[in-house]
C-alpha cells in the first residue's frame, strides 16, 4: 500500500524494529539497496531489513567511495529507501563525517531520517573501501570517543562499530579494538575484510555474546560464503553492500551499448522490466485507488449542490 496512509506506517521506531530483527533466531539478511526502487524489490523478495552502502551511494552519484559526501546527501538516500520499503535500514556512516560533535549530529540526522542502525569505522580520511590496500587506521581511543558520542546522541538507533584493523594490525588488534568499542557503547561489531573462514571463526570465538556483522562483498578480500555459513561461524548479520548496484550498472551499460550499436533499444526489450511490472512494484494502482477514495470521502454523496448566481 502507499506510504501515504498512516495505518501502513510503523508505529515503533526503526531502531527498536532493527533490534527485534536481531533478536530473531537465525542470521539477519541485509541486502544492499541503493535507491527506493531497489528497496521495493528487496522487500518484494521477502527481506525484512536493508543496508545502505556508502560505496553504492557514491557510485550511484558518479563519485568514488572516499568519504566525500555529506550528511545531508546520505539523508536523502535514507529517506527515499525508508519511505519506499518501510523496512529497518542499516546505514553506512563512514568515519562519522568529522569528530565527536559531527558524529552526534550525523547520528541524530540519520535517526530522524528513518535509519534503524548505523555503523562507524576506524579509518581516517580520506577513507577507503575496506577491501583496498593502504588503509589508514585511526587511534583506537579516538574511535571509541566517536562510538560513545553516537551512543549518547541516539534515541533507539543501533550502533555498530566497524574495525578495519585486521588488515593493517592483525587479528589481535582488531579484537582489542572491538572490545574497546563495545565498552564505549557499541551494540555490535563489524570486522571488515577478514579473508579466511578461520579468521571469521577466530574473531567470533574471541567476542562471545557480541552480535557480529559479516560483509559479503564481491571482488574483495573475503571469499564467497553463504549466509548460513556465516551463521555457523558465529555471525548475527550479513550484508551484500553493492550487489544491487553492480547488477543494475552492468545492465545499464549493456543497454547503452545496444542503443549506440543498433540505433535503438528494441533488441533489449526482453531484458526490461515491463510497464505492468514497474507499476506493480511502485504500487501505482494502489495510489490511484487511494486518490479516488479520498475524493469520495471529501465530497460525500447527497450533499446539496451550490447554486450558481449569475
- Catalytic residue, chosen from 17, 19, 43, 119, is 119
Q: Is 119 among the catalytic positions?
A: yes
- Set of cell numbers at residue 43: 522487500
Q: Is 129 tagged catalytic?
A: yes
Catalytic residue among 97, 129, 231, 235: 129
Tell me, yes or no, if 162 is annotated catalytic. yes
Among this protein's residues, is 121 annotated catalytic?
Answer: yes
Assigned C-alpha cell, 89: 535500514
Identify the active-site residue in 19, 34, 43, 94: 94
- Asked if residue 39 lies in contact with residue 87, where contact means CB atoms within 8 angstroms, the answer is yes
Residues 53 and 241: beta-carbon distance below 8 Å:
yes
What contacts 291, CB < 8 A, 6 or more positions away? Answer: none
Q: Which of 111, 121, 122, 231 is catalytic?
A: 121
CB-based contact 40:282 (threshold 8 Å): yes
Query: Which of 35, 43, 51, 131 is an active site residue?
Result: 51
Please check whether residue 143 is in contact with residue 177, taking contact to mean a CB–CB distance below 8 angstroms. Answer: yes
Give yes or no: 134 in active site.
no
Q: Which three cell numbers stand for residue 109?
A: 540526522
Could you say which of 29, 34, 43, 65 is catalytic? 65
| H/E stretch holding 251 | helix 243-262
Q: Which of 111, 192, 231, 246 is catalytic?
A: 192
Of these residues, 29, 92, 187, 246, which one is catalytic? 92
Active site residue 51: yes
Q: Of 203, 236, 242, 201, nearest to 29 (Cα)?
A: 236
288 classed as catalytic = no
| Known catalytic residue at 215 | yes
Q: Tell me which of 131, 154, 162, 177 is the catalytic residue.
A: 162
- Measured CA to CA, the distance from residue 29 to residue 21 in angstroms comes to 10
**Given 215, 231, 235, 246, the catalytic residue:** 215
Q: How far apart are CA 182 and CA 234, in angstroms?
A: 17
CB atoms under 10 Å from CB of 128, counted, come to 18
User: Which positions are annotated as active-site residues?
Assistant: 51, 65, 92, 94, 119, 121, 129, 162, 192, 215
Amino acid at each position: 500500500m502507499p506510504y501515504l496512509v498512516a495505518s501502513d506506517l510503523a508505529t515503533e521506531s526503526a531502531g527498536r524494529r532493527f533490534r527485534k530483527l536481531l533478536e530473531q533466531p537465525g542470521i539477519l539478511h541485509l541486502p544492499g539497496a541503493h535507491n527506493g526502487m531497489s528497496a521495493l524489490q528487496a522487500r518484494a523478495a521477502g527481506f525484512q531489513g536493508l543496508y545502505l552502502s556508502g560505496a553504492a551511494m557514491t557510485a550511484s552519484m558518479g563519485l568514488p567511495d572516499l568519504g566525500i559526501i555529506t550528511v545531508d546527501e546520505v539523508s536523502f538516500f535514507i529517506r527515499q529507501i525508508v519511505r519506499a520499503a518501510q523496512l529497518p535500514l542499516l546505514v553506512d556512516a563512514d568515519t562519522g563525517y568529522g569528530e565527536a560533535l559531527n558524529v552526534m549530529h550525523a547520528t541524530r540526522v540519520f535517526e530522524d531520517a528513518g535509519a534503524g542502525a548505523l555503523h562507524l569505522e576506524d579509518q581516517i580520511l580520506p577513507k577507503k573501501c575496506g577491501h583496498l590496500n593502504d588503509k589508514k587506521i585511526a587511534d583506537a581511543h579516538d574511535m571509541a570517543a566517536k562510538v560513545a558520542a553516537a551512543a549518547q546522541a541516539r534515541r533507539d538507533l543501533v550502533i555498530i562499530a566497524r574495525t578495519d584493523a585486521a588488515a593493517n594490525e592483525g587479528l589481535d588488534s582488531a579484537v582489542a579494538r572491538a572490545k574497546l568499542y563495545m565498552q564505549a557503547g557499541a551494540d555490535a561489531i563489524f570486522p571488515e575484510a577478514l579473508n579466511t573462514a578461520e579468521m571469521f571463526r577466530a574473531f567470533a570465538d574471541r567476542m562471545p555474546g557480541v552480535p557480529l556483522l559479516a560483509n559479503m562483498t564481491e571482488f574483495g578480500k573475503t571469499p564467497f560464503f553463504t549466509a548460513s555459513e556465516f551463521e555457523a561461524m558465529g555471525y548475527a548479520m550479513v550484508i551484500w553492500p553493492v550487489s544491487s548496484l553492480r547488477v543494475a550498472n552492468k545492465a545499464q551499460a549493456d543497454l547503452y551499448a545496444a542503443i549506440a550499436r543498433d540505433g535503438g533499444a528494441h533488441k533489449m526489450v526482453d531484458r526490461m522490466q515491463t510497464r505492468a511490472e514497474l507499476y506493480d512494484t511502485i504500487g501505482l494502482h494502489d495510489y490511484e485507488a487511494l486518490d479516488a477514495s479520498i475524493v469520495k470521502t471529501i465530497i460525500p454523496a447527497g450533499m446539496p449542490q451550490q447554486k450558481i448566481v449569475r
